[in-house]
Structure 1
Amino acid sequence: LPNMSAYNETCASIANVYWNHRQFLLHGDAKYLDLMERTLYNALLSGISLEGTRFFYPNPLESVGQHERAEWFGCACCPGNVTRFIASVPGYVYAVRDEELFVNLYASNEAQLVINNNKLRVAQETEYPWNGAIRLTLHPEAEELPMTLNLRIPGWAQGRPLASDLYRYLNNEPAQISVQVNGEAVPLEIKNGFAQIRRAWRANDVVELDLPMLIRRVVAHDSVKADIGRVALERGPLVFCAEWPDHEGGHVRNLFLADDAGLTTEFFSDRLNGIQVLRGKVAGYYAGKKEAFEKREQELLAIPYYAWAHRGKGEMTVWFARNEAAVQPVGLPTLASTSQVQASFGKNPQAVNDLLEPGSSNDHEVPYFHWWPNKGTAEWIQYDFNKPEEVATVEVYWFDDTGVGECRVPQSWRILYWENGDWRPVYTPGAYGIQKDQFNEVVFETVRTTSLRLEVKLQEGWAGGIHEWKVK
């Protein structure tokens, strides 16, 4: 799926948790819990802000600043769904079947359970997901409680992210997992993803499970075209991302992470309510004046994906280039990219000068501006320059989502410039093109101005939009 435009709705993540939890209850296989946990800590948790007051509808894996959480939506299924779900999370931690107790999720808690008509109190102590040291103390009401304790051994600790070939680790060695009962090591017998310990349990028996959290490099199946030549980072159940406030110039989509680059981890107690971060060295790619790329060594600081978009709007990425062909260099500033943008109406006007060129008019992988739901109207968008500029050429790449939405190329358009307190049309002998899947260039008599306006007449019954607008 495209990283920037795939919908990844919060409600879909909740449904994913529901489905996989029920599959586990039906089959007793921890592979369903692996997917449930991955969704819970990442795709689902990003849907709500740290304060619990703002929400994402979609949860993209890449952004150039067009995404932010909102207090409410016209169709507000996600806010109510996510708040209801989070209140239900304690019910997913344990499961009971006859004389078996399953520990599905790891989090500090106390639980009162009933095992084969016998009461059992379980106390779990851990700093999971920051580290994998887990301590369980069992308090059966009876003097002895014969029971099989099933401790989930996550796929990430066994060297695989999922029980499929959709993703795999480049460094897939299993972690050195250990289990102790009352301070004595016990053999690791794994069945259906659970370490099983069968014994008669007594009050104050202590089980210690250690799941070392290696920093994992994830690659996707080659069928996922958006992630060819890219790598993502995980540690434990958490997926990490790079976000603009932590990187040079606010850019992260231009970073190249070599496979042999060293990575370390540390805990920041004073950032984003306390987070584990990953650090390392990357190369930042920048467009050079003579076509060749300029590369500069930079610091990488990756945060848990769920914690992004709390420090303002800007770039974010989960998938880093590991091949040069996948790098997206920062372009050289242009007259358009350094201008201020305003519009008569519409969403995301800053997309028209973000230097991101689309692959087609219906490309949803890069940001675009549109006037929807206005249809058949006269609209405009304009550049305000920092100082008077001489301009003579514009190029416009129209957004047209035929077959998907309600935006089409305009019926007509023209360019105007600001002079002596009035908007005046430029003089051009050429035509104003409305071709899809290409830049439409108009060359006109040179004007000196502080503002340039693009005025459109939308087709009757249709909205319209723009991918990119260049000025020379």
Structure 2
Amino acid sequence: MLQLECDGKYADAMERALYNGVISGVSLDGEKFFYANPLASLGDRHRKEWFGCACCPPNIARLLASLGGYIYSQSMDDLIVHLYIQGEAKFDLHGQQIKLKQKTEYPWKGKVTLHIDLEKPDVFGVKLRIPEWCKEAQLKVNNQEIEMTGILEKGYVRMEREWKNGDTVELDLFMPVERVYSHPNVRQNVNDVALQRGPLIYCLESVDNVESLHKISLSKDGNLTTIYDETLLGGVIKITGDAEVVGYTDWGNRLYWTEKVKSQPFQIIAIPYYAWDNREPGQMRVWIPEGNQ
């Protein structure tokens, strides 16, 4: 297992890279690849089946094959969970083998359940990462709520107790849709916003919205809701929300005019960024202009 320093910022960065930077490089059927992951496209960026210098596709395969080694680690007295991915792991700790079974629907749902199997009761710590994106979480051991104040350090909660066979830990990470803003010195993103839910970054595609995505601006205080769509891109949670779209009413053949551009209400559909360019060709953008209303 990878021996990560227990500082949540490292695992946070790894999680964001895995869910947004790595798997977006592979098409959903696993047969085409990106070399670069652009944050906007006019419809002319597509994955390819192969490259003359094909180092990235096999590197992705190698990373995915080694993913199990990034999920957990251990120290002399702790079992540590860095990533929330359903499966199980075995640890040799204090002279006995301990099995940790993780059950979750992450990243669509924030609930994670850990079942602990061990040969005899033992005192050790279990450390769970609280992701940087998570502003509210609930923790339970054997259905008893645990107060996290005082046991949270560097992005991990640590529970030390005498663990027994069959003990369960439940972690619930609340996942509202959030607006993400970049540093004001990033001039390309001034007045723009990106959408995030849990570890996933979202984007707009013209196939779901309008042909020219630059016409859309997100309402500043508009509602953003989530819907699970099992028919979309293999089953994803999509975001819908209040926006505006500009039109060409009364412009005729003018290139410039002194009248303000007219707009009308519009409902956007945003999908996880990793799943873009898996349908018909079209525009895509992550950073969306945010209106004043």
**TM-based fold match above 0.5:** yes
Unaligned 5+ residue runs, structure 1?
A: 1-20, 158-173, 325-472
Distance 1:304 1:225 in 2: 24
Displacement of 1:114: 1.7
Distance 1:320 1:204 in 2: 48
Query: SS of 1:293's equivalent?
Result: coil
- The answer to whether residue 87 in structure 2 is matched with residue 109 in structure 1 is yes
Given candidates 273, 278, 286, the residue that maps to 1:310 is 278
Does the alignment pair 1:245 with 2:207? yes
Structure 1 position 323, deviation (Å):
4.3
Residue equivalent to 1:346: none
1:211 deviates by 0.4
1:90-127: CA deviations, max 9, x gaps?
11110111111111000111112222432111111110
1:139 — aligned with what? Answer: 117
Aligned positions of 1:139-218 closer than 5 A: 139-141=117-119, 143-157=120-134, 174-175=135-136, 177-188=137-148, 189-218=151-180
Aligned residues: 283
Q: How does 1:195-344 map to 2 (within 5 A)?
A: 195-248=157-210, 250-287=211-248, 289=251, 291=257, 292-323=260-291
Structure 1 position 285, deviation (Å): 1.9
Answer yes or no: is the 8 Å Cα contact 1:104–1:151 preserved in 2: yes
Is residue 17 of structure 2 the alignment partner of residue 55 of structure 1? no
Task: Please tell me the residue identity of whatever aligns with 1:298.
Answer: F
The structure with higher relative contact order (CA 8 Å, sep 6+) is 2
Matched letter for residue 152 of structure 1:
R
Shift of 1:276: 0.8
Contact in 1 for aligned 2:111/2:173 (Cα 8 Å): yes
Who is 1:40 aligned against?
18
Alpha-carbon distance in 2 for matches of 1:224, 1:36: 23
Q: If you compute each CA radius of gyration, which structure gives the higher value, 1 or 2?
A: 1
The one-letter code of the counterpart of 2:272 is P
* 3-state SS, counterpart of residue 169 of structure 2: strand
2:94 and 2:190 mapped to 1: Cα distance? 51
C-alpha contact (below 8 Å) 1:242/1:317 kept by paired residues: yes
Q: 1:158-203: per-residue Cα shift (whole Å, max 9, x none)? A: xxxxxxxxxxxxxxxx22x111100101111201100110011111
Which residue in the other structure is 1:370 paired with? Answer: none
Tell me the amino acid that sits aligned with residue 181 of structure 1.
V
**Aligned match for 1:129, one of 107, 113, 118:** 107
The one-letter amino acid of 1:215's match is: V
- Which of 23, 45, 54 is the aligned partner of 1:76? 54
2:65 aligned to which of 59, 64, 87: 87
Do the aligned residues in 2 keep the contact of 1:118 with 1:145 (CA within 8 Å)?
no
Paired residues of 1:106 and 1:134 also in contact (CA < 8 A):
yes
The equivalent position to 1:64 in structure 2, one of 42, 62, 68, is: 42
